[in-house]
Structure 1
Amino acid sequence: MAGYLLKRLLGLLPTLLIVAVLVFLFVHMLPGDPARLAAGPEADQQTVELVRQDLGLDKPITTQFVDFFWRMLHLDFGQSLRTKRPVATEIADRFMPTLLLTIAAMVWSVVFGMAIGIASAVYRNKWPDRLGMTLAVSGISFPAFALGMLLMEVFSVYLGWLPTVGADSWRHYILPSITLGAAVAAVMARFTRASFIEVVREDFVRTARAKGLNERVVLFKHCMRNALIPVVTMMGLQFGFLLGGSIVVETVFNWPGVGRLLVDAVTMRDYPVIQALVLLFSLEFILINLVVDLLYGFINPTIRYR
C-alpha cells in the first residue's frame, strides 16, 4: 500500500506540469487586455502601458512562462491583477465556503441517491422503481440555474423560510446544496440501481438466500460491499465535479466561493488567479481519484495494490 501510494503521488508531478503549461497558454489566448481592464475605460494609452509594465505583461511570453513556472515551484502564484492581494490569500478566503457547500450537497445526495437506487433495485419494475427512476431522470434533466431560481422563488420569496444569498449560517446552505446536489443524487440513484441489479444476480447471493438468511442481511452484508465499488468511483468523480464546478450555483446564489472567484477572474482577465484555480481543480481531481482507489481496498479486502 505504501509503495502504491508513493508511486501515485510521484505521478502527480508530470500531470500538474502538463496542466500548468496548458492553462498558461489558455489564459493568454483569452481575448481582452488585462492592462486596459485594470486601468479602467477612461485611462489613456500611456496609463495603460504603465499598468502593463507594473503587471509584468510587457515581457515576452516565454519570460512570463518561466517566471510563472519558477514561482509555481515555490508555491508562489503571484498577486491578483484585480485586487493586488496574494493569489493564495484570495483562494484561501473563498475555498472554505465552497468546500462546506460541496460536502453538504454530497452528503444529502449520496444518502438519498443510494436509498432510491437500492429501493429501485429491490423493487425492480414495480412502482418504487418507476418513481425513483422518474425522479432521477428529472434531476439530471433539470438545469441547475433553473432549479436554483425556482427554489428561491418558492422558499425565499413566497414562503420567506430561507435566505437567498450569503453563507453566514446553516440556513444559507440549504437551497444552494439542494440545487448543487440534485443532479448528483440522480446519478447516484441510477448507478446504485444498476450495480445492485448486477450483484443480486450473482451465485453467492443465491447461496445466501438458499441458506435462509434474512433479506436485509443479504442486501446490506453480502450485496452492499460488492455493489459499492462502481458507486464509490462515481462518488469520487461527482465530488470532484461539485468542488470545481459549482460556478453556476455560486453565481445564482451569489455564494462567496471559488466558483464566483473564477468568474470574476475570467471577466477581469486576472491571469494569476485563473491559473492557480485551474491547477487547484486539477489537483483536487487527482487526489480524489487516489482516495477512491485506496477506498477500494477497504471496501473489498480481496483487492491488492501492486
Structure 2
Amino acid sequence: MFRYLLKRLLGLIPTLLIVAVLVFGFVHMLPGDPARLAAGPEAGPETIELVRKDLGLDLPLHQQFVRFFSNALQGDFGKSIRTKRPVSQEIAERFGPTFWLTLMAMGWSVVLGMFLGIVSAVWRNQWPDRLGMTLAVSGISFPSFALGMLLMQFFSVKLGWLPTVGADSWKHYVLPSLTLGAAVAAVMARFTRSSFIDILKEDYVRTARAKGLKETVVVIKHGLRNAMIPVVTMMGLQFGFLLGGSIVVEVVFNWPGMGRLLVDAVEMRDYPIIQALVLLFSLEFILINLVVDLLYAWINPTIRYR
C-alpha cells in the first residue's frame, strides 16, 4: 500500500506539469491586454509598457512559463494583477467559504441520495421507486442557476426566512448548499439504486434472506458495504466537481468563494489568479481520486494494490 501511495504521489508532478502548460497557454489566448486593464482606461502607451514590464509580460512566453512554474514549485504564485496582493493570500481567504459550502452540500446530498437509492432498489418498480427516481430526474434536469433564483424568490423574498448573500452564519449556507447539492443528490440516488439492484441479486444476499435475517440487516450489513465501492467512486468525483465547479452557484448568490474569485480573475485577465486556481482544482481532483482508491481497500479488504 505504501509503494502504491508513493507511486501515485510521484505521478502528481508530470500531471501538474501538463496542466500547467495547458492553463498557461489558455490564459494567454484570452482576448484583452491585462497590462492595459491594470493600468486603467486613462493610461497612455508608456504607462502601459511600464505596467507590462512590471508584470513580466514583456518576456517571451517560454521564459514567462519557466518563471511561473519554478516559482509555483516553491509555493509562490506571484501577485494578483487586480489587487496587487499575493495570490496565495487571495486564495486562502476564499478557500474557507467554498470548502464549507461544498462540505455542507456534499453531506446532505450524499445522505439523501443514498437513502433514495436504497429505498428505490429495495422497492423496485413500486411507488417508492417511481417517486425517488422522479425526484432524481428532476434534480438532474433543473439548472442550478434557475433553482438558486427560485429558492431565493421563495425563501428570501416572499418568506424572509433566509439571507441571499454573504457567508456570515449558518443561515447563509442553506440556500447555496441546497442549490449546489441538488444535482449531486440526484446522481447519488440513481447510482446507488443501480449498484444496490445488482447486489441484491447476489447469492449471498439470497442466502442471508433464507437464514431468516431481517430485511434491514440484509440491506445494511450484507448489501450496503458491497455496494459502496462504485458509490464511493461517484462520491469522490462529485466532491471534486463541487469543490471546483461551484462557479455558477457562487455567482448567483454572490458567494465570497474561489468560484467567484475565478470569474473576477477571468474578467480582469488576472493571469496569476487563474493559473493558481486551475492548478489547485487539478490537484484537488488528483488527491480526491487517491483518497477514493485508498478507501477501496478499507471497504473491501480483498482488494490489494500491487
TM superposition score category, shorter chain reference: over 0.9
Which residue does the alignment assign to 2:276? Answer: 276
Deviations 1:138-169 (A, max 9, x none): 00000000000000000000000000000000
Question: Counterpart of 1:152?
Answer: 152
Question: Residues 199-242 of structure 1, C-alpha deviation per residue, up to 9 Å, x if partnerless?
Answer: 00011111111111111111000000111110000000000000
The yes-or-no answer on 1:30 pairing with 2:30 is yes
- Cα distance in 2 for residues equivalent to 1:181 and 1:73: 34
Alignment partner, residue 162 of structure 1: 162
What is the match of residue 216 of structure 1?
216
Corresponding residue of 2:127: 127
Please identify runs of 4+ aligned residues in structure 1 that moved more than 4 A. Answer: none
Counterpart in the other structure of 2:198: 198
Distance in 2 (CA, whole Å) between partners of 1:73 and 1:124 is 52
Deviation at 1:44?
1.7
- CA shift digits 1:43-76 (9 cap, x unpaired): 2222211111111111111111111111112111
Task: List alignment gaps of at least 5 residues for structure 2.
Answer: none
Within 1, Cα distance between the matches of 2:59 and 2:6? 39
Please identify, of 35-44 and 92-101, the stretch whose mean Cα deviation from structure 2 is larger.
35-44
Q: CA deviation at 1:303?
A: 0.9
1:33-48 aligned at under 5 Å gives the runs: 33-48=33-48
Q: Give the distance between the partners of 2:70 and 2:188, measured in 1 at CA.
A: 42
Equivalent in the alignment of 2:3? 3
Distance in 1 (CA, whole Å) between partners of 2:115 and 2:85 is 45
Q: Which residue of 2 aligns with 1:137?
A: 137
- Cα distance, 1:249 vs structure 2: 0.3
Deviates more, 1:52-61 or 1:141-150: 52-61
Letter in 2 for 1:174: V
Normalising by the residue count of structure 2, what TM-score does the alignment of the two structures yield?
A: 0.99
Instruction: Note the alpha carbon deviations across 1:56-98, whole angstroms, 9 max, x for none.
Output: 1111111111111111121111111111111000000000100
Deviations 1:163-211 (A, max 9, x none): 0000000000000000000000000000000000000001111111111
Report the AA paired with residue 33 of structure 1. Answer: D
CA RMSD across the alignment: 0.7
Alpha-carbon deviation of 1:7? Answer: 1.0
Moved more, 43-52 or 117-126: 43-52
Partner residue in 2 for 1:171: 171
- What's the TM-score once normalised by structure 1's chain length? 0.99
Equivalence for 1:287: 287
5+ residue gaps, structure 1: none
SS at match of 1:164: coil
The offset of 1:42, in angstroms, is 2.1
Q: Give the equivalent residue in structure 2 for 1:20.
A: 20
Q: Which amino acid aligns with 1:20?
A: A
Stretch deviating more after TM superposition (35-44 or 234-243): 35-44
**What is the identity, as a one-letter code, of the residue corresponding to 2:221?**
K
How far apart, in 1, do the equivalents of 2:234 and 2:63 lie?
A: 41
**Structure 2: which amino acid aligns with 1:96?**
G
Deviations 1:17-56 (A, max 9, x none): 1111111111111111001111112222222111111111
Alignment partner of 1:265 is 2:279? no
Aligned mates of 2:70, 2:301 — CA distance in 1: 43
- Name the counterpart of 2:225: 225
Indicate the residue corresponding to 1:301 in structure 2.
Answer: 301
One-letter amino acid of the counterpart of residue 50, structure 1: L
Q: Distance in 2 between matches of 1:241 and 1:73?
A: 25
Would you say 1:65 and 2:57 are equivalent positions? no
Residue identity opposite 1:267 in structure 2? E
